[in-house]
Amino acid sequence: MKSIAAAALLIVTAPASADVVHSENHGFEVTETVTLVVPPAEALAAFTRVSGWWIKDHTYSGDSANLSLDPRPGGCLCERFPKGGGIEHLHVTSVTPGESLIMTGALGPLLYEAATGVMVIRVERIAGGSKLTLNYRASGFANGGADKMAPMVDKMLSDTIKNYRKFAAAGGGRR
């Protein structure tokens, strides 16, 4: 019984892993992976409740409550501005309930760089819960500096996914 409790604690406390997989002047790829002690469907449901876990410093409005994610093809990860208007960060292109979510678009400063990307979220069942992997590949003009942006995007996504992990573990996918 002690070994099961120790294994569960290890899963709960295992840090998220982050990696710049590839970068060059006109593109990059980053991957974030996190283990969770919740079933895959609950993990993906928590991911879609983005206003509960996204870091406010990585929004245009300064408030994560202004974010929403409509998890259906044609939906978006959007941010409304308090005085009107808003921004579409990512456009939802594919959803497989409980398994994956694929979105396209330019995160943050990439919007202004004639660059775009594809974010693939995959959730798989593992012993004791699930594993969520976020892969973001971006390319385009980016003033020839995408390789310099890759570590910043990786850090932002890594920090944000750590918040997501806490939110999901606290039951964010059950609401």
Give 1 or 160, the one with higher predicted confidence: 160
In a domain, 13, yes or no: no
Judged by average pLDDT, the poorest of 13-17, 45-49, 168-172 is 13-17
In a domain, 3, yes or no: no
In a domain, 14, yes or no: no
Q: What is the DSSP string of 137-160?
A: EEEE-GGG-HHHHHHHHHHHHHHH
Q: What's the whole-model pTM score?
A: 0.87
- Tell me the residue range of the domain where 126 lies: 19-169
pLDDT digits (tens, 9 = 90+) for 12-22: 444 466 688 88
pLDDT beyond 80 at 124? yes
In a domain, 76, yes or no: yes
**Total structural domains in the chain?**
1
Q: What's 137's domain CATH number? A: 3.30.530.20
